[in-house]
Structure 1
Amino acid sequence: MKGYFWGSCSVVLVSAAQLLMKWGMMHLPPLGDYRLWFASANIGPIFFLMGGLTAYVCSTGFWFMTLRRLPLNKAYPLLSLSYILVATCALMIPEFDEHFTLSQLIGEMLIFIGLLLISLPE
């Protein structure tokens, strides 16, 4: 059971990392415009990027703990939860301007059903 706890922590952190880095990249000046980089006093996006990278590193640590406690064929499918979590959270953040589609819902449902089928006891 501890393996699933560590795996869930890893999924939540990797999903947070994706969202933080998306927000940070949306608010950074274009990479090719060096004048804006040096003239800009807004360091908030850099903190979001660094927070996302930190969340990735922490997620990797939790993933190591998951791999110690679960067989790989049970642990690896947990990562697919991050697809559902990121897509759902991105829809809830108005600034991301994501649009909900029926095909997205069907895809997320198929991922979830697949995960349930893989995780069922033998």
Structure 2
Amino acid sequence: MAKYFYISATLALTIYAQIMLKWRAVTLAPSVPGRKIDYLIAMYTDPFVLSVFVCALGASVSWALAIERMPLTLAYPFMALTFVLVPLGSVLLLRESFSPMQILGSALILVGITLSVYKY
């Protein structure tokens, strides 16, 4: 059961990192007009953006622990959930739009994941 905990932790940390980075990019860009270097400095000194790097490290550690315990052919399809959950999170938290085609694409991804891991 620990293997699924590590997969879940990897997914959660990855999703957090993607949504947090987008949120801070949208928030900081208007506040730092002009040179891109000023924007990048603001981004990479922001505590929330720095938390993204901590999460990336945590996700890589969690991923290493997950694939130690399960075949990559089982573990890796679960990572495709990020292609569904990150856009869903951006709709819920960042108020982005989600088109009918994106909904269909997400459904197909979920079908693909189900088929990929079905034998296990």
| TM-score range normalised by the length of the shorter chain | 0.7 to 0.9
Post-superposition Cα deviations, 1:75-120, rounded to whole Å, max 9, x if no partner, equal 1111111111111010012xx3411211000000011111011111
How many Å apart are 1:2 and its aligned residue?
Answer: 2.0
TM-score (norm 1): 0.83
* Contact 1:6–1:63 (8 Å) recurs in 2: yes
Which of residues 88, 107, 110 is equivalent to 2:108?
A: 110
**What percent of counterpart residues are identical?**
26
What TM-score do you get using the length of structure 2 for normalisation? Answer: 0.84
Match of 2:69 in 1: 69
Q: Which residue of 1 aligns with 2:47?
A: 47
Q: Give 4+ residue runs of structure 1 displaced > 3 Å after superposition.
A: 33-38
Unmatched runs of 5 consecutive residues or more in structure 1: none
* Equivalent AA in structure 2 for residue 22 of structure 1: K
Q: Give the length in aligned residue pairs.
A: 116
* Counterparts of 2:48 and 2:3, CA distance in 1: 29
The 5 Å alignment of 1:1-122 reads: 1-28=1-28, 29-30=32-33, 32=35, 46-93=46-93, 96-121=94-119
